[in-house]
Structure 1
Amino acid sequence: MLRHTFLHLRGVGPRTEARFWREGVFTWDEALRHPLPWLGAWQREQARWELAESCRRLALGDALYFQGLLPAGERWRLLADFLPQAVCLDIETTGLYWGANVITVIGLYDGCQYRAFVRGRDLHLFPEAVRRYRLVITYNGQRFDLPFIEAEMGPVLSGLAHLDLMYVLRRLGLRGGLKRVEQVTGLARPSALQGLSGYHALVLWRLHRSGHRGALDTLVRYNAEDVVGLLPLAVLAYNLMAAELPLPLSPLPLPERPDLPLPYDPSLVEWLLEREEEAV
């Protein structure tokens, strides 16, 4: 998708990008060979330099370069080119506000493997593990996950591009929390943990700290259910957005939600959900 994109060029908005496509200029290589008469002389030279630089940066795998140039609502265009170097991320915390609360679990899923980093065990290994990727995918990470991580660990994600699915899904008319969006799109988790929420994650951490044997396993499994669902959602959003453009693009294969062989305590989950019903 990026090689079909002109929106990141200086002075090029949606209308001018659409003009490229209407004139049959669909890729950077085609633009570099085309006279581009709809641009002024100075803008043509600037565009050619920026297109050559774009080719170089893409060859280097510099996702952050394109994030800085694309409008926030168009960063979904990064996905196809950086999918092999992308990782989904979700955190659990002791509360809603960074600075006053701390991270308990960070989960990563790259399409092949899920890994949890747990406070008091191996949370300190997260910065090194995440550096191998180029693109981080979250849901509401711009307002929640990333500020928490920066407040606690510093700018460990500063070299990575970020795709927050909440905003692109809102453009598609899909609003609400992650589990609601999963249900509406037909990508709901099949797990018995479906009814748990962020509040339950907080309670699970407290139970773990008080010595409950099954609480940490259940918390990690809850985090895993959240994070592995991000990749199918990201691909779905990309395909829906790309389908609206007049471009010869093939949809990305929709990844299946993986089976998670991670243990959890079913009786504890049942107790948490019953407790919530009683409170209502």
Structure 2
Amino acid sequence: MRIENSFIPVEGVGEATERRLWLEGITTWESFDPRVDVDGVGPTTAGRIESFISEALARLDDGDSAYFDRAFPSGERWRLYENFREETCFFDIETTGLDERRDRVTTVSFHSDGETTTLVAGEDLTAERLREQFADASLLATFNGARFDVPFLETSFGIDVDTPHLDLMYPCKRIGLSGGLKPIEAQIGIERDRPDISGRDAVRLWREYERGDDDALDTLVSYNREDAVNLRSLADVVCESLHENVFVGEVSGK
């Protein structure tokens, strides 16, 4: 589903009204006709829709993902993904614990435009390098990053992560996928090279590296990189499923 299929950012247009527009064949901004009689869309709402479309088209041409992040309800942020897929930065962090004020970020992996980069504490994991990784992204994608990864990085490095953010944990729940990232991957057929490694192992591996075991760091980095890479596959599956449920099913009258 693309942003251009959406009318829900418009004041006065809720999910029910948006569905009625779709069922009348108004499935894109281009197909909107204020003369078409749609229940719940009077002259005032029609005018708002036209104004929104006019501004949104310009914002989309400019690649202004922040505008749509503000315009869409938080639960509908997944609708930005198809438009900004190629400019999405998938990232995941590993830490020595769960307390952002006491524990340390050990590695951060980023997957964007087919390439994966990992920053390691004590080597190249700095505020400046983090900002560089986020700078070119139109959209960030994580799993439970809104509650964990982002605040951990902001507190640990004194940075503001203000790029629009799709936390995949919430759209996963919407389609009935619950639990942690690894069990969800297994449910939808995403395989791992090292399925035996867990977040607890990531802490152990870092401690072993601190004691001089370079192989432990290699394993930790491989695990962290796989987390970031697999987020793209997860986003593809989840957003396609929501597209089928929210848009295709409604348009076809199912």
TM-score by length of 1: 0.83
The aligned amino acid for 2:186 is: Q
Describe the SS at the equivalent of 2:31.
helix
CA pair 97-35 structure 1, distance change in 2 beyond 3 A: farther
Q: Write out per-residue CA displacement over residues 93-137 of structure 1, whole angstroms, 9 at most, x where no aligned residue.
A: 111121121211110011411100111111121211221111111
TM-score by length of 2: 0.91
Q: Write out per-residue CA displacement over residues 158-184 of structure 1, whole angstroms, 9 at most, x where no aligned residue.
A: 1x1111111101111111111100111
Give the Cα–Cα distance (whole angstroms) in 2 for the partners of residues 63 and 105 of structure 1.
Answer: 27
Q: Write out per-residue CA displacement over residues 241-270 of structure 1, whole angstroms, 9 at most, x where no aligned residue.
A: 11123449xxxxxxxxxxxxxxxxxxxxxx
The aligned amino acid for 1:30 is: S
The aligned amino acid for 2:158 is: G
Question: Does the aligned pair in 1 maintain the 2:110–2:133 contact within 8 Å?
Answer: no
Give the Cα–Cα distance (whole angstroms) in 1 for the partners of residues 34 and 43 of structure 2.
Answer: 13
Q: Runs of 4 or more off by more than 4 Å in structure 1?
A: none
* CA RMSD after TM alignment: 1.6
C-alpha displacement at 1:11, in angstroms?
1.8
Give the Cα–Cα distance (whole angstroms) in 1 for the partners of residues 88 and 221 of structure 2.
Answer: 21
* Count of aligned pairs: 244
The aligned amino acid for 1:65 is: Y
2:252 alignment counterpart: none
> How much identity, in percent, do the aligned residues show?
36
Give the Cα–Cα distance (whole angstroms) in 2 for the partners of residues 115 and 183 of structure 1.
Answer: 24
Describe the SS at the equivalent of 2:7.
coil
Question: Does the aligned pair in 1 maintain the 2:110–2:117 contact within 8 Å?
Answer: yes
Describe the SS at the equivalent of 1:163.
strand
Give the Cα–Cα distance (whole angstroms) in 2 for the partners of residues 18 and 28 of structure 1.
Answer: 14
Tell which has more relative contact order, 1 or 2 (C-alpha 8 A, sep 6+). 2
1:142 alignment counterpart: 146
Which ranges in structure 1 are unaligned for 5 or more consecutive residues? Answer: 249-280
Which ranges in structure 2 are unaligned for 5 or more consecutive residues? Answer: 250-254
Give the Cα–Cα distance (whole angstroms) in 1 for the partners of residues 71 and 144 of structure 2.
Answer: 21
The aligned amino acid for 1:16 is: T
CA pair 48-155 structure 1, distance change in 2 beyond 3 A: farther
C-alpha displacement at 1:86, in angstroms?
0.6
1:51 alignment counterpart: 53
